[in-house]
């Protein structure tokens, strides 16, 4: 089956999801896709590589219904470089927790200029963020801090979109190891086009295109989040040290 025919099939599934019969059966997500439709998407996208998946996405879904987020962390340049080449006018959402390293904000601004990105920030309500500062919630209950400063701001805009594009890769954590290309997560269809990209493939692309790393990588930070919950370390070992937490909650 060629790409046009495959895209037509996906469009039919999207349309069918809006019928009353499908509505009774489908999970609750903003695209209205059933489990069958999501399985179909995974089957169609599995043979494709990262770039091919992204190109197909903009054929199968309305571009204005595609949400792309980036943490502008250690190797975000890889993901954003490809996005900027395929869809230069794609807005990039950055969740500004109020606790980012100054280097992260500088890296965000640098990549935005370098790749000509169109970005916008998502933030918690001022009073909620202030509560986490006064309460030091990041020490007492880091899950709650992430919920207030990351999860809730993103959840608030999800109903505007049908699909959310992330840059997760299976080798990064145990939780991510079982993720699919498409899956339903917290009311939206999650698209993980890089999920089966290896560390070696990522690093080779970065070297080939001479992409800039986050400035803290050279200082020993492999995974970079908020200042209160990030220390130097290999892989994700520098995140939430001494706590069982391994994910901020956005992708669970």
| CA pair distance 155, 34, nearest whole angstrom | 20
Q: What local confidence, expressed as pLDDT, does residue 6 receive?
A: 43
Q: What local confidence, expressed as pLDDT, does residue 193 receive?
A: 92
Going by their DSSP bridges, the two strands 182-185 and 188-191 should be labelled as antiparallel
Q: What local confidence, expressed as pLDDT, does residue 21 receive?
A: 43
Q: What local confidence, expressed as pLDDT, does residue 239 receive?
A: 62
Domains of the chain: 3-229 (3.40.50.620)
Q: What is the pLDDT along the chain (252 residues), one digit of tens a residue?
A: 444 444 455 555 555 444 444 444 545 788 899 999 999 999 999 999 989 999 999 999 999 999 999 989 877 899 999 999 999 999 999 999 999 999 999 999 999 999 999 999 999 999 999 999 999 998 888 889 989 999 999 999 999 999 999 888 875 656 666 688 999 988 899 999 988 888 888 888 888 999 998 999 889 887 788 998 888 777 656 565 556 555 555 554
Active-site residue, selected from the candidate residues 146, 226, 229, 248 = 248
Q: How far is CA 248 from CA 102, 116, 145, in A?
A: 20, 28, 9
- Residue 116 has phi, psi (to 5 degrees) of 65, 40
| CA pair distance 61, 53, nearest whole angstrom | 12
CB 247, CB 175: distance < 8 Å: yes
Q: Which residues contact 13 (CB under 8 A, 6 or more apart)?
A: 33, 34, 36, 37, 40, 41
> Mind spelling out the 3-state secondary structure of the chain?
CCHHHHHHHHHHHHHHCCCHHHHHHCCCCCCCCCHHHHHHHHHHHCCCCHHHHHHHHHHHCCHHHEEEECCCCCCHHHHHHHHHHHCCCCEEEEECCCCECHHHHHHHHHHHHHHCCEEEEECCCHHHHHHHHHHCHHHHCHHHHHHHHHHHHHHHHHHHCCEEECCCCHHHCHHHHCCCCEEEECCEEEECCCCCCCHHHHHHHHHHCCCCCCCCHHHCECCCCEHHHECCECCCCCECCCCCCCCCCCCC
Q: What local confidence, expressed as pLDDT, does residue 18 receive?
A: 46
Q: Estimate the crossing angle of helix 3-16 against helix 35-45, to 10 degrees.
A: 170
CB 200, CB 59: distance < 8 Å: no
Active site residue 248: yes
Q: Which residues contact 241 (CB under 8 A, 6 or more apart)?
A: 231, 233
């Amino acid at each position: 089956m060629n790409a046009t025919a495959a895209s037509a099939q996906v469009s039919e599934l999207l349309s069918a999801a809006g019928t009353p019969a499908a509505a009774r059966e489908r999970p609750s997500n903003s695209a209205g896709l059933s489990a069958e439709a999501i399985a179909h998407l995974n089957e169609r996208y599995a043979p494709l590589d990262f770039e091919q998946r992204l190109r197909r996405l903009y054929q199968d879904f309305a571009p204005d219904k595609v949400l792309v987020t980036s943490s502008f962390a250690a190797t975000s340049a890889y993901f954003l470089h490809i996005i900027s080449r395929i869809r230069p006018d794609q807005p990039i959402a950055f969740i500004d927790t109020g606790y980012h390293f100054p280097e992260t904000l500088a890296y965000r601004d640098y990549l935005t200029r370098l790749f000509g990105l169109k970005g916008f920030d998502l933030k918690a309500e001022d009073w909620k963020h202030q509560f986490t500062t006064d309460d030091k919630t990041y020490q007492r209950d880091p899950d709650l801090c992430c919920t207030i400063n990351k999860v809730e701001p993103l959840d608030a805009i999800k109903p505007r979109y049908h699909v959310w594009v992330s840059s997760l890769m299976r080798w990064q954590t145990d939780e991510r190891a079982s993720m699919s290309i498409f899956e339903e997560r917290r009311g939206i269809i999650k698209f993980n086009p890089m999920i089966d990209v290896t560390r070696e493939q990522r690093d080779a692309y970065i070297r080939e295109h001479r992409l800039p790393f986050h400035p803290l990588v050279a200082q020993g930070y492999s995974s970079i989040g908020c200042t209160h919950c990030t220390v130097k370390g290999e892989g994700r070992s520098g995140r939430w040290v001494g706590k069982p937490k391994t994910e901020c909650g956005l992708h669970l």
